[in-house]
Amino acid sequence: MSIQTIVKKLPQPTPLGSYSPRDVVFLLKDLSTVELEKNMEDREEAIQSGTHYSEMLPMEYQPTQQYIQLFHDTLKTTARNVALASAITAELIWNKRGENTIIASLARAGTPIGILIKRYIRLVYQHDLPHYSISIIRGKGIDENAVLYMLKQHPQFSIQFVDGWTGKGAIRNVLIQARETLKMKYGIIIDDDLAVLADPARCSATFGTRQDFLIPSACLNSTVSGLMSRTVLRDDLIGPDDYHGAKFYKEWLKDDVSNLFVDTVSRFFADVKEEAKQQAAYLYDNPNETEVTWKGMKDINRIQEDFGIADVNLVKPGVGETTRVLLRRVPWKILVDRMDNPHLKHILLLAKDRNVPVEVYPDLTYSCCGIIKPVNGGEQS
Q: What is the CATH number of the domain that holds 324?
A: 3.30.1330.30
Q: Domains in the chain: how many in total?
A: 2
**Same-domain status, 112 and 259:** yes
pTM (predicted TM-score): 0.91
The CA-based diameter of the chain, rounded to the nearest angstrom, is: 57
Rounded to 10 degrees, what is the CA torsion of 109, 22, 16, 174? -40
8 A C-beta contact, residue 94 and residue 75: no
Asked if residue 340 and residue 211 are part of one domain, the reply reads no
Statement: residue 319 has pLDDT above 80: yes
Name the domain boundary from 241, 259, 290. 290
Write down the H helix ranges in the chain: 3-9, 40-48, 65-97, 110-125, 144-153, 170-186, 258-266, 269-285, 296-307, 319-328, 345-353
| Residues 34-47: tens digit of each pLDDT | 999 988 788 888 99
Residues 189, 247, single domain; the answer is yes
Q: Are residues 156 and 216 in the same domain?
A: yes
Phi-psi region of 126 (alpha: psi -120 to 50; beta: other; left: phi over 0): left
Q: Is residue 190 located within the same domain as residue 138?
A: yes
**Alpha helix (H) residue ranges in 126-160:** 144-153
**Full residue range of the structural domain in which residue 352 is found:** 296-372
State whether 228 and 339 are in the same domain.
no
Residue 217: name the closest of 114, 141, 119 by CA: 114
The model's pLDDT over 200-241, given as tens digits with 9 standing for 90+, comes to 999 999 999 999 988 888 888 899 999 999 999 999 999 999
- Domain shared by 176 and 222, yes or no: yes
Query: What is the reported pLDDT for 377?
Result: 52
Would you say residue 381 lies in a domain? Answer: no
Closest CA to 59 of 33, 37, 35, 32: 37
- Is 378 domain-assigned? no
Q: Are residues 142 and 194 in the same domain?
A: yes
Does residue 151 sit in the same domain as residue 242?
Answer: yes
